[in-house]
Structure 1
Amino acid sequence: MDPQFDYIFELFTLLIGLAVAEMLLGFSRILKLRARRRAGIDPAAMRVKVGWLVPILGLLVLIDLATFWSIIWTMRGVLDMRMATIFGVLVLIGGYYLVATLVFPDEPEMWPDFDAYFWQQKRWVFGGMLAINLAINLTGMALGASPEGAPQISPATHPVFVTSVLMVYLNFPAFAWLIFTRRARVSLALMLFIIATQILYALSSWTIAGLV
């Protein structure tokens, strides 16, 4: 690994670590809220309906953060220590941290229905994720980034992996659809689709040496 990349990657790791911590804190608040509601010790918690939209969104952001980390890792051979690089890392990862802070409400008791919170924040969250994912993928393509020692892959040798890659590219229109849809079932289906495609990609690349 380029020694210069170590400094950039440390900055990246710090920011993405904060984003992951923010997501885990959101899940922790929900679990504590459920505990207080079941114990009957918090009247405000008794009135809160969590639903599925916000927790699934939190899971989606966590998985996409892992994918985002892997893309940055493949760029370790083409990134160097320049001001433009540091600025780009701050914009992309800082933007993702900002997105992560919008997924869960800071004070769950103030939102009797988490679905209402989801509909207020979803355009910012999905719009930010779409913009950041497009930016990092286009940057990687422009710089010619690829995993070191990656094998030649074709549909004949790795059909499941190639299929998973094609399905991952469908995430971009899925994110765009999520920005504008107002239907809960459509939102859930699209989020689960993105999660499934990224898990399939991770599993199909597991046995291919040189890939992350």
Structure 2
Amino acid sequence: MKTKIQELRIKNIKNVSEKIFQITALLLFSLSIQAQDKKAKDLLNQVTSIVKSYDNIIIDFKYSLNNAKENINQDSKGNVTMKGNQYVLNFMGVTKIYDGKKSYTIVPEDEEVTISTVNDNDDNAITPSKMLTFFNTGYKCIMDAVKDVRGRKIQYIKLVPLNAKDQRKEILLGIDVQTKHIYNLIEMGKNGTKTTLTVNSFKTNQPLSKNQFTFAESKYPNYYINKLD
């Protein structure tokens, strides 16, 4: 039985994974958003053209979850390394490795590793390849406000879900006007919950180990290995 703290940790890791890959999708691929604003799409295409050729991306980020009604204020930091369809995510004391086929969730606090095969067709599966199509349909895209953040001009683009059943009211993407890199992603829920993922450091084409995305069971001799399939 998982404790409430463990369940919250897993939920937050999933939320962060979703937002990181939403950003990745914007960085690496052109979009064809329904009912789109031409200026917004032009800006996103500029972002795409700048970073499309990057061999890998390393992001240090801050994740915030706030709900005034429920008196929830939570801040966490993490980092993710991505190359193609592989990634290593470190967040809330947990490491998640995806080698392109299997997902490995390593929890030192519990001395446990959970291994599962990722099915791209699973609606609940969070993979880079799946997130490449996240913004392709189902959103109205419009230019929003420009804000000055510590001397940086950030242009926001608003994505409004067209599906009335979507629990998200809107998504705001902040783009650094000078570098054309994503600065942050803000998600507003209909229940008043606001989650923000802010990119503190964005590095590309870094030297990576050949085993960067490889899980080595020998490194965890005393861990319980939980194979889900």
**Whose helix fraction is larger, Structure 1's or Structure 2's?**
1
When normalised by structure 1's length, the TM-score is: 0.30
Does 1 or 2 have the higher relative contact order (CA < 8 Å, sep 6+)? 1
Rg (Cα) greater in structure: 1
When normalised by structure 2's length, the TM-score is: 0.29
